[in-house]
Amino acid sequence: MSNQPNLSCSNPVPRHAGAGVQSDLIPGHVAIIMDGNGRWAERQGLPRKAGHRRGVSNIRRIVELLAQRGVRVVTLYAFSTENWSRPTDEVDSLMAILAEEIGPQTRELHRAGVKLVHLGDMTPLDPALQEAIRQAQDTTRYNVGVTVNVAFNYGGRDEILQAVRRMIADGIVPEAVDESLFSRYLYTDGCPDPDLIIRTGGEQRLSNFLIWQAAYSEYYHTPVLWPDLDAEDLDRALGAYGQRQRRFGSLDVQDDPSGE
Ligand code: IPE
Ligand code: IPE
Ligand code: MG
């Protein structure tokens, strides 16, 4: 919208399901709540930050697998607006890990044709980190492979509030406000809603993730901790999705009525 760069995540990429996978059963957009890094580290007798590092190293493997299976958009929940309430040393190490990893990870993902998009509020981040995020987006903006949205300092309620503020600042009249216009003011402008939300680490909640966009998403949770999530776990999640009947409030099984 007006004061936000156009980082639309919908690329005109045909779905290409892998051998033996029926393309109509593959979710176009998979969002992942990457939870369980701390417990992974604690179980190995390591500091929590070691779990976060291990978590980052699992991103590329999972993105590649999802791409191979025909998924076009992947959204990863990496740091919530509530995660600032963790002890300072944990927050500092999460910021340091992002600062260190963003360059190398972007290079690898760029080589794989991935388009990177940040979701969330960048303003409280260190200016050098903000610049690195902008660079990652600029470098990959014309890639037509999978789009990977990284939700970092993202909160669903914060997203809705910033949308309302910008709509008021733009002088939008009440009669003009509908779901389509509102969606265009969200960080996910241009993105289809997630078809499938996977949460690792066993919790069964959204934790302020995509609360508008998840209205009709299918939900899957697994006790597997994020650093351990592998191809088999992922295929179990995709298989479960393939069994779901999506009705969107109607009595018939449907494709997403929004046409995404
Ligand atoms: C998810 O792992 C990563 C972030 C929230 C930044 P956690 O750090 O929440 O790991 P657990 O849930 O404590 O195991
Ligand atoms: C959700 O995990 C946020 C991310 C994975 C980035 P949390 O560990 O912060 O969620 P809660 O506190 O268990 O709800
Ligand atoms: Mg957690």
Residue 77 or 2, more confident: 77
Is 62 domain-assigned?
Answer: yes
What range does the domain containing 200 cover? 25-154+194-241
State both tokens at 89. 């040393």
The position carrying tokens 């176009």 is: 28
Catalytic residue among 37, 58, 83, 208: 83
Is 149 domain-assigned?
Answer: yes
CA-closest candidate to residue 30, choices 227, 233, 185 = 233
Distance of alpha carbon 92 from alpha carbon 82, whole angstroms = 14
Distance of alpha carbon 230 from alpha carbon 14, whole angstroms = 25
Instruction: Residue 129: give its domain's CATH number.
Output: 3.40.1180.10
CA-closest candidate to residue 78, choices 7, 154, 140, 8 = 154
CA-closest candidate to residue 11, choices 143, 149, 196, 187 = 143
Is 160 domain-assigned?
Answer: no
Is 34 domain-assigned?
Answer: yes
Task: Tell me the mean pLDDT in the region 8-29.
Answer: 57
Question: What is the pTM (predicted TM-score) of this model?
Answer: 0.92
Number of domains in the chain: 1
Residue 247 has pLDDT above 80, yes or no: yes
137 CB within 6 A, ligand 2: no
Share of the chain above pLDDT 90, in %: 87
DSSP the chain: -TTS------------PPTT--GGGS-SEEEEE---HHHHHHHTT--HHHHHHHHHHTHHHHHHHHHHTT--EEEEEEEETTGGGS-HHHHHHHHHHHHHHHHHHHHHHHHTTPEEEEES--TTS-HHHHHHHHHHHHHHTT--S-EEEEEEEE-HHHHHHHHHHHHHHTT--GGG--HHHHHHTSTTTTPPPPSEEEE-SS--S-TTSSTTGGGG-EEEE-SS-GGG--HHHHHHHHHHHHH----TTSSS--S-TT--
Is 165 domain-assigned?
Answer: no
User: Going by CA atoms, what residue is nearest to atom 12 of ligand 1?
Assistant: 36
Is 233 domain-assigned?
Answer: yes
User: Going by CA atoms, what residue is nearest to atom 10 of ligand 2?
Assistant: 207
Distance of alpha carbon 33 from alpha carbon 51, whole angstroms = 15
152 CB within 6 A, ligand 2: no
Per-residue pLDDT tens digits for 44-97 = 999 999 999 999 999 999 999 999 999 999 999 999 999 999 999 999 999 999
Q: How confident is the model at residue 10 (pLDDT cuts 50, 70, 90)?
A: low
Is 96 domain-assigned?
Answer: yes
Residue 8 has pLDDT above 70, yes or no: no
Is 146 domain-assigned?
Answer: yes
The verdict on whether 83 is a catalytic residue reads: yes
Atom of ligand 1 nearest to the CA of 36: 14
